[in-house]
Amino acid sequence: MARTREFDTDSAVDAAMQVFWSRGYEATSVQDLVEATGIGRGSLYAAFGSKDGLYEAALRRYAEDATARMAARLDRDEPVRVVLGDLLLSLLDDTLDHPERRGCLITNTAVERLPRDPTAGRIVGDAFGRIAESVAAVLRRARARGELAADADVTALADFVVTTIQGLRVHGKAGADRRRLVAVIDTALNALPTTNL
């Protein structure tokens, strides 16, 4: 009879996610993960196969949570600049207000692990795609009510917003001044082809 797993896998993934998020993949040792999760090395390998397997599970958890939170924040029937501005400012503050300025695990993974880690690449790409679709839904609503120009390219604008998000995350993590990054947000919002409604 197989032994019952004696630990909560979800809790282990959450604990590992915090370590990877703070330290990055390369700087995190298996011993760091053992200490953070409170689970023996053998049990971690049995459950996740490898450090890579645990990282993949942690990154998937982070990406699912982060993209769901962004989608919920964007699901508002308010002017497009208000909705997108609130999102961008909240993400900026998430980065700047954290004492470690650890940024975003999705962005950190893109910078640290790609292109040599194809599994991480797929998770990151899927997350960027989900964020872009949530932004595109806001833009489509704005275009339908005449707030955006009728010929506005929603796909290109959504990709522009996702790229702005990633740039804010990297610059925020690197220690950029909040005032300058808020000016970047204002510039991005002013670039939207809104009408004078």
Inside any domain, residue 33: no
Check pLDDT > 90 for residue 30: yes
Inside any domain, residue 30: no
Domain count within the chain: 1
Residue 186 belongs to domain spanning: 63-190
**Measured at the alpha carbon of residue 66, what is the angle toward residues 30 and 171, in degrees to the nearest 5?**
80
Inside any domain, residue 149: yes
Per the prediction, the chain carries an average pLDDT of: 93
Residue partners of 129: CB distance under 8 A and separation at least 6? none
Distance between CA atoms of residues 139 and 80, nearest Å: 7
Inside any domain, residue 40: no
Q: With pLDDT > 90 as the criterion, what percentage of the chain qualifies?
A: 86
- Which pLDDT belongs to residue 120? 97
Inside any domain, residue 95: yes
Q: 123 near 55, Cβ under 8 Å?
A: no
Instruction: Provide the token pair at 115.
Output: 């292109």
Inside any domain, residue 121: yes
Report the predicted TM-score, pTM, of the whole model to 2 decimal places.
0.90
Inside any domain, residue 57: no
Question: What separation in angstroms does the CA of 195 have from each of 24, 150, 153, 155?
Answer: 43, 9, 14, 18
Inside any domain, residue 36: no
Check pLDDT > 60 for residue 197: no
H helix or E strand, kind and range, residue 71: helix 51-74
Average pLDDT over residues 2-14: 72
The tens digit of pLDDT for each residue in 55-87 reads: 999 999 999 999 999 999 999 999 999 999 999
CATH, residue 99: 1.10.357.10
